[in-house]
Chain A
Amino acid sequence: MNRIEMGRVQAFLLQHRRMETIPRGKGRVDERELARLLNDADLEARTELEGLLQGFGFDLVALDDFQTQGLAHGGKVFLLPRRLDQVSALFSERWIDERMQLKNETITTRRIWFTQLWFVLLALFYTHRNRVATEVTRYVETTFTRADLVQAMHEYINDMVRKLGQDALKGDVVYNCLISESGAQVDKYAGRFIELMVDGAQVDDLGADRYRQSLLGALEMKNNHLQGLEPWIQATGPLEAGRELLVRPSDSSEG
């Protein structure tokens, strides 16, 4: 891999955050070629590229079909998960603010919808399947349709949010935003949200209105949940039930 090729590989990875040697269907332009270049690269070039990407705030991870599911026979995938210790300056949350726009509602409203949909989606991915955040390979089981997400969101709003009493609220901005939705709004925001997640490489579009968590999304979740998401959740509002520690009987009997 010469310098120019390394630049192309790097540009592709920064833009798409993943590439496969045998992509599903045709893959993206140049994907096959660049992924194979990277796969065949010597150790020195690889180390150099890894260093560069680390400077941008990413790790370079390679997985083959013996290490995860959902890859073609003999295929290999390269992923670019974010590093928590070095948040990339190349990205900005403005993208989310812009892409969640329906009409001219406020930025706060858009952010509320994004965040709420995001956690409902995570509940579909993890909570409902009894899947813990470290389970990466089960990402292939997470297929959902837009209607599934919309339904889950409706259920969440009707069964949980609407039943909250005013006295449980420390601030009513999110509450008011959710309970004032007219019915069609959830569907529209869900559409925006899914598009955004697909473009941001967090969700794979399988075609025919079927989506699922991307391998990159699952990997970032595994890498960053303990130091990133857990403390964030604790800081914004500790879970009332706390986190159960499941201890198997054998452990207690052996001491």
Chain B
Amino acid sequence: MKCLPLLRLSARLLDLHDAQREPGNSPVYTQEERAGRGDGRYLDLACIVLDVLRGLAHESGNEFIGFDALLISVREVEPQVDSEDLRYVLNVLARPTELWAIDRSDGRADLVSDKQTHLVERTHYADDYRLTSIGRDAISVSSNISDFAYAEGDALKLLRAIESGDLDVVPSFSDGLLDTIRFASVELRQEIERGQVDKDSEVFKVKMPRFRDVIEKTSELLRQAEARLKSWRATDSDELDDTLAVDVYDLEHQVLRVYQALESFGRDLAELTKIAAKRRTSAVSATDFLEVALNLVKRPPSDRQLESMFRRFGPLRLDGIFPSPADVRGRVRVSLTKAEMAPRFETAVGAVEVADTRLRFLGEYGDVIRARLASGPLPLSEALERGWCVLDGTLELAELLGVYVAPWALTEGEPIELRIPREVATRSDGVVGELIYSDLELARVERGASA
């Protein structure tokens, strides 16, 4: 940001505002020297701060920023900045000063005062800062861009830039437009939230129709800009790609984004207009919550009242307890009624009884495995090798694995232990196909070994 244009604009006006002259005194202006340093030191720092704040507002959606973070950002621009100097500049920028002027806008001459002169806003309680709307205006005015009412002009500049092939400036123009739309949109919403916009208000009668008008015309310009970009790309794209530093696709995308933002602002505006039109002047002062608290001291609330307040406004969240059947596995015994416990007889005649696969598997291989275990540990690989995973010609790998998972199915008398190797083995043969597995080992616990 350049501060000189702003100073040029306002220095003499400020002199007049601060004039010491009484009526009847000499007309010669004598206070020529300016008090203070002539090195521009603090002004420079102020410009850096405003620029940094603008950049941050752009990135974060008008967030406040802490002093330390601000100092770091300022030092990126000017490494030698002293933190006390910065604090001084912020103190000055954040402090409102009262200005007096005579307003002749509606035929009368009224003395009016304005305190909206601080460029930076500081939070009440913490050392946090951001630009005020005046601060943003200062930056905009200094670079000749103004508020949303002039968005049409900005879009026109964008269109002209594209038409004349001056594509380098397109990103900064479209970013500027996006910012303008965003701030206009949020500010309008804020005014309506404050409850001071109804169908008789200035905002409703003047500002909103003007916004609608601007949106309409700006959209049209943006459409043209986009079409223009498309044709750039279509006609002589080959030469363009070689000579340009920017990608035309990117530019199209950027222009499209501005267009979409504008469109959504238009929709918002329609919605806000509806809200404002329905609203009656019902602006109320802010609730005095301290008085509410004090009333609760005087008349302690009942538990029921407290609970209803907690439920509606209190900081509640899920404790993260989601019941699942797994929680009660092994802890709950299902009690059956007597009728269910009575043995059921199959009364149908001729039904073929199909033996359970597990029983058939154990019948087929149980003895063999037990016998094999007697002579030493049995790795899974060996069991596969011996073909103990095939039952009556079909692959029953699950049943074999079942033995490795629940070895007590083999024998009740003797404890069997399960050993798990660290490595993963692979195997591939015609029966089981490709297999990646842990080569588990079944082994009888040697009673004598541990003793």
Contact = CB atoms under 8 A, between A and B. Distances in A.
Contact of A145 (B125, B282, B288, B313): B125
B128 A143 contact: yes
A45 B311 CA distance: 29
B261 interface: yes
B213 interface: no
Given A67-B268, A132-B283, A224 B297 contact: no
B270 to A, nearest CB: 14
Interface of B: 58-64, 66, 123-126, 128, 181-182, 185-186, 189-190, 193-196, 200, 261, 264-265, 268, 281-301, 303, 305-320
A69 to B, nearest CB: 5
Given A66-B182, A120-B290, A251-B281, A164 B298 contact: yes
A139 B105 CA distance: 35
Contacts, number: 248
Nearest to A82: B312
A136 B192 CA distance: 10
A15 B284 CA distance: 35
Nearest to B190: A137
B186 A91 contact: no
Nearest to A128: B124
Contacts of A235: 305
Contacts of B288: 123, 127, 239, 241
Given A137-B190, A244-B285, A70 B63 contact: yes
18 contacts: A73-B60, A87-B312, A91-B316, A123-B288, A126-B287, A127-B288, A134-B193, A136-B193, A141-B123, A143-B64, A144-B126, A171-B299, A198-B315, A201-B315, A236-B299, A239-B292, A241-B288, A245-B283
B289 A126 contact: yes
- 6 closest residue pairs by CB, A with B: A200-B315, A237-B295, A119-B293, A91-B316, A93-B310, A123-B289
A75 B61 contact: yes
Contact of A96 (B196, B285, B314): B314
A45 B158 CA distance: 39
Contacts of A68: 61, 186, 189
A130 B124 CA distance: 12
A14 B308 CA distance: 20
A179 to B, nearest CB: 9
Interface stretch (A34-42, A47-55, A180-188, A225-233): A225-233
A169 interface: yes
A119 B290 contact: yes
Contacts of A75: 61
B161 to A, nearest CB: 22
A73 B174 CA distance: 14
Nearest to B198: A251
A117 B426 CA distance: 64
Contacts of B306: 93, 111, 115
A65 B185 CA distance: 9
Contact of A132 (B62, B123, B128, B195): B195
A66 B290 contact: no
B318 A156 contact: no
Contacts of B63: 69-70, 140
Interface string A71-99: 11101000000101001101111011000
B203 to A, nearest CB: 12
A141 B64 contact: yes
Given A91-B318, A119-B290, A200-B314, A210 B264 contact: no
A250 B200 contact: yes
A66 B185 contact: yes
Nearest to B295: A237
Nearest to A251: B281
B124 to A, nearest CB: 7
Interface string A208-247: 1010000000001110110011001101111111011111
A124 B287 CA distance: 11
A54 B194 CA distance: 28
A5 interface: no
Contacts of B309: 115, 229, 232
A246 B283 contact: yes
A9 B400 CA distance: 41
B315 A196 contact: yes
Contact of A174 (B196, B297, B307): B297
Most buried by A among B186, B193, B298, B316: B316
A115 B311 contact: no
Contacts of B123: 141-143
Nearest to A161: B297
Given A235-B305, A246-B283, A90 B318 contact: yes
A15 B316 contact: no
Given A133-B286, A164-B298, A208-B66, 6 more contacts: A116-B293, A132-B287, A156-B293, A222-B193, A228-B312, A232-B309
